[in-house]
Copies of this chain bind each other. A is one copy, B any other.
Amino acid sequence: MSKITFLGAGSTIFAKNVLGDCMLTPSLQEFEFALYDIDYKRLKESESMLENLKESVGSGVTINVYTDRKEALRGAKYVVNAIQVGGYKPSTVIDFDIPKKYGLRQTIADTVGIGGIFRSLRTIPVMLDFAKDIEEVCPDALFLNYTNPMSTLTGAMLRYTNVKTVGLCHSVQVAVPELFKALNMDDEGVKWKISGINHMAWLLEVSKDGKDLYPEIKRRAEEKQQEKHEDMVRYELMKRFGYYVTESSEHNAEYHPYFIKSQYPELIDRFNIPLDEYPRRCVEQIENWEKMRDQVVHDKNLTHERSHEYASYIIDAIETDSPFRLHGNVLNKGGLIENLPEKSVVEVPCLVDRNGITPCHVGELPEQLAALNRTNINTQLMTIEAAVSGKREHIYHAAMLDPHTAAELSMDDIVSMCDDLIEAHGPWLPNFKKENILV
């Protein structure tokens, strides 16, 4: 019996999506689902939900709960990673509050930026621990990483462990449908090409029957920008740099030095930027979960429709050798994207078949897009450097190289803010105790 291990299975809704999808996949009916989480209560809730779902959809899978991580992983063929380290409280709150004291505002803080750096720093060591177990008890497993910050976590796994890893995010596959919907355009028969880095991949081509649709897209976007809407940052980036980006405006607002600027406070309103958006969402999500918990966990008639998450499609493609295409996050080894660093993690088309996930060679990005990617890759590479070396000065480097942070703060303030964050995160950052200070 083949085994899918789900790390962070206490995320009941996400486990429902990914494992519910698998239950609906004919080729996976003989699989064991091995659930693991450090939160036993939530783990059991997910188990209950999945058992109900199994009954109601009539699936043949086996569901087991593990409290020993190594046992959960032993012999796994696939590992789904969907953990969160530190949680909303205390970690996310700290990631937003301390920078705010220095005048540095954020929106989501899960990718790059000061929040993304610290989220990486507390998660990478946990991932490297997973990797040690995997190398021991299931060395051939395919590790499907869903946890953010995608590029740094996936990069750390690919560069510092022997675990076969791919990073998964659905921002690529929804980009064109959402753009077309927002502009009242029909995406039927539309052909597109997207590559770049996670959360900053670029819609390089978009056409129908050989006709470039960008002129019409830009015309409508320009018109739409006349009034307030939810996605203004992204449209502005398209206007200025010529291409549409895969992540939302609230994310992109903090990836660049252009939008959240203390010198230009009016931009917040002008581009409708939801500062502190992520903590707000966390609170909402927690409240919602409280409301829906019983319904999801104990509903004997729970149903599920196959979601757009990649995992079940990947596993099916490998099991049945039915080729599948995804945009995966992989190491840029050999220069898949020729004008990005070889050590960076890129989001490119990949072929999935019996041989697993094989990335495609993309070539060059238009130089301005590669340049924007490189500004974020700078921070990502330094963050990984910090996490694996345990050198505090590399945290400073990561932060000083972040375009938004560097635009807003002086070097002294950046260093002081990093120190405050390290102090506040305390036990979540065991590698950066005071005695390790090198600068």
Contact = CB atoms under 8 A, between A and B. Distances in A.
A394 B242 CA distance: 10
A54 interface: no
Interface in A387-430: 393-394, 396-397, 400-401, 403, 406-408, 410-411, 415
A335 interface: yes
Interface in A331-350: 333-336, 338-339, 341-343, 349-350
B382 A353 contact: no
A406 B374 contact: no
A267 B401 contact: no
A240 interface: yes
A323 interface: yes
Interface residues of A, number: 71
A228 interface: no
Interface string A354-368: 110011111100011
A361 B355 CA distance: 13
Contacts of A370: 341
Contact of A361 (B256, B360, B382, B400): B360
Contact of A359 (B191, B256, B353, B361): B361
Contacts of A394: 368
A398 to B, nearest CB: 9
A346 to B, nearest CB: 11
A210 interface: yes
Interface of A: 103, 140, 191-193, 205, 210, 236, 239-242, 256-258, 261-264, 267, 321, 323-325, 333-336, 338-339, 341-343, 349-351, 353-355, 358-363, 367-368, 370-372, 374-375, 378-379, 381-382, 385, 393-394, 396-397, 400-401, 403, 406-408, 410-411, 415, 439
A267 B408 CA distance: 14
Given A323-B325, A334-B335, A382 B360 contact: no
A256 to B, nearest CB: 8
A367 B382 contact: yes
B375 A378 contact: yes
Contacts of A341: 339, 370, 374
Contact of A407 (B257, B338, B359): B257
Nearest to A406: B257
A411 B354 contact: no
Contact of A358 (B256, B323, B360): B360
A40 to B, nearest CB: 32
A219 to B, nearest CB: 13
Contacts of A335: 334-335
Contacts of A401: 368, 371-372, 375
A267 to B, nearest CB: 6
Given A258-B410, A371-B378, A439 B239 contact: yes
Closest 9 CB pairs of A and B: A407-B407, A371-B378, A323-B325, A358-B360, A368-B397, A351-B351, A191-B354, A257-B406, A264-B410
Nearest to A337: B334
A258 B411 contact: yes
A408 B349 contact: no
A420 to B, nearest CB: 17
Given A349-B353, A374-B374, 7 more contacts: A191-B354, A262-B263, A263-B263, A334-B338, A351-B351, A358-B362, A371-B401
Given A258-B411, A360-B351, A407-B257, A400 B323 contact: no
A193 B324 contact: no
Question: Which of A205, A334, A379 has the most C-beta atoms of chain B within 10 angstroms of its own C-beta?
Answer: A334
Question: Which of A205, A336, A351, A354 has the most C-beta atoms of chain B within 10 angstroms of its own C-beta?
Answer: A351
20 contacts: A140-B210, A192-B355, A236-B411, A257-B403, A323-B351, A325-B351, A325-B353, A333-B361, A334-B336, A334-B338, A334-B361, A338-B342, A339-B342, A351-B351, A361-B361, A367-B382, A368-B385, A368-B394, A371-B378, A374-B378
A363 B357 CA distance: 13
A381 B370 CA distance: 10
A355 B407 contact: no
